[in-house]
Amino acid sequence: MFARRTLAGAFEALAAISLTLPVGSQENRSVDLSQPASLKQCLDIAAVNHPRLKETQADVESARWKVVESKSSLYPSVGLVSNWSRFNSSRQGFSVGSAGASENRETAVGVAYEFLDSGQRANAIRLSTTTAQATEAGLTVARQAIALAVAQAYFELLASQDIVALRDQVVASADAHVASARAGFEAGTKARIDILRAETELANARVDVITARGDVRRAQAALRNSMGLTQEIELQVLQEGPQVSPVSSLEAARQAAQQRREELRQQELNVKASGLSVKSSEIDAGVAYSLAGSYDQYLDSSRDTTDEYVLRAALSYPIFDGKSSRSRVKAARADLKAVQQQLEQQRQAILLEVDQAWITVDDARARVEAAEAAKKQSVENLALNEFSYREGVASMVEVIDARSAAAQADSNAIRARYDYDLAVCSLRYAMGQTVIEEDRR
């Protein structure tokens, strides 16, 4: 009766353990990028396809299984054991007993359980649980880092695409300028040198287009890589509305980072795990005790035994082990001090990251305003120079310089706009938030 109750309880315990198994990770989904993708779509694709996330998810699953393994010590172990042996001997001279063959066989269902220990079992469970929590925090860290990399590549591609469109406009304008110079030369109002200068401008503009299109291809490759895609897909991305700074003060940003950054939580859990390792080494170096028991129900036995049980109590203390136990304790305590300093180092690094991100947002905002003002002025300057050229007042060189300045101002405005969007995403990352606003996801 005792064996049946024990077996039933053990099977219930095993069933309870099975309910805590981690859910399998999401399967890789097919990618449809035939249409221009938004930043949200790129982030979602990266969350499914990036190999670093898959690796970290596997680490999380492994850590969760180790928690289950450590908790299994709380339950009785049940096993079926069957042994068979045959013994044969021969004797010479006078001896007690008889020579010959003998056979032993045993088949039993056994239950074993450790009732008490020195605290190592409970400490191991806490250690595995803490390690699993740190691994899960590491998964969030990986997600955020990959999201920021996607945002960086995304805005770089947007800027590259806009610059290609700008360079195409410059080519069209330079082409029209060549035609105008030729018409003026044929009419006798312009010199042939104006045609050569306009053609030189057109040739340089075409070179700039080739360079800009190469930048687009490189930006597409970087975005594919950040999303975890290996196939050759000509990515097109959608224009995003301007990003909004998540906080109004640097102090608020610093406080948010200390509360939300998973790197800090992960490192705090590492400190806790290191403290548990110290405790484990101290238990091993001290008085160890245990109380365990087992019960076997024999289904078949050559000894004609039906059942038996064993109760064992043990007490031990390492009197001399070549300083092995003390060395493990001291090493574990030194490791704890190192991890504690790593936590402080991580905190300072995050605060520096927030400060730099905040300054970058301020700089980018000012650059946007300055670039837009310069763009407006360059447009007016170009219009005046073109008018003056048609009236015969300005030279071709002045028009080309004005057109180059206008193109540079347009390019600066494009870069400033996307640099600001990326700066806001970087600030959100530094604060431990998602890289884009929740209502955009």
SS3 content of the chain, % helix, strand, coil (to 5): 65, 15, 20
Residue 12 in any domain: the answer is no
Helix or strand or coil: residue 326? Answer: helix
Any idea what the CATH number is for the domain that residue 338 is in? 1.20.1600.10
pLDDT in 10s for each residue of the chain, 441 residues: 333 444 344 434 433 433 333 333 344 455 567 788 899 999 999 999 999 999 999 999 999 999 999 999 999 999 999 998 887 766 665 555 555 677 888 999 999 999 999 999 999 999 999 999 999 999 999 999 999 999 999 999 999 999 999 999 999 998 988 888 888 888 877 788 888 888 998 999 999 999 999 999 999 999 999 999 987 777 888 888 788 888 789 999 999 999 999 999 999 999 999 999 999 999 999 999 999 999 999 998 888 888 999 999 999 999 998 899 999 999 999 999 999 999 999 999 999 999 999 999 999 999 999 999 999 999 999 999 988 888 888 888 888 899 899 999 999 999 999 999 999 999 999 999 999 886 555
> What is the spatial distance between Cα 415 and Cα 163, in angstroms, rounded to a whole number?
9
The first and second tokens of residue 260, run together, are: 């939300």
Residue 308 in any domain: the answer is yes
Q: What is the pLDDT of residue 440?
A: 55
Q: What is the pLDDT of residue 392?
A: 80
Rounded to 10 degrees, the C-alpha dihedral 300/303/304/309 comes to -80
CA angle in degrees (0–180, nearest 5) for 123-287-318: 115
> What is the spatial distance between Cα 347 and Cα 72, in angstroms, rounded to a whole number?
36
> What is the spatial distance between Cα 21 and Cα 19, in angstroms, rounded to a whole number?
6
Would you give the distance in Å from CA 289 to the centre of its chain? 43
Neighbours of 411 (CB within 10 A): 20
Instruction: Give the amino acid at 388.
Output: S
Look at the chain and report how many structural domains it folds into: 1
pTM for the model stands at 0.82
Q: Identify the residue whose tokens are 């063959």.
A: 101
Residue 26 in any domain: the answer is no
- Strand-pair partners of 296: 110, 308
Residue 340 in any domain: the answer is yes
Residue among 203, 276, 245, 239 at smallest CA distance from 360: 245
| DSSP letters spanning 276-323 | HHHHHHHHHHS-EEEEEEEEEEEEEETT---EEEEEEEEEE--S-STT
- Which domain covers residue 178, as residue numbers? 34-79+102-440
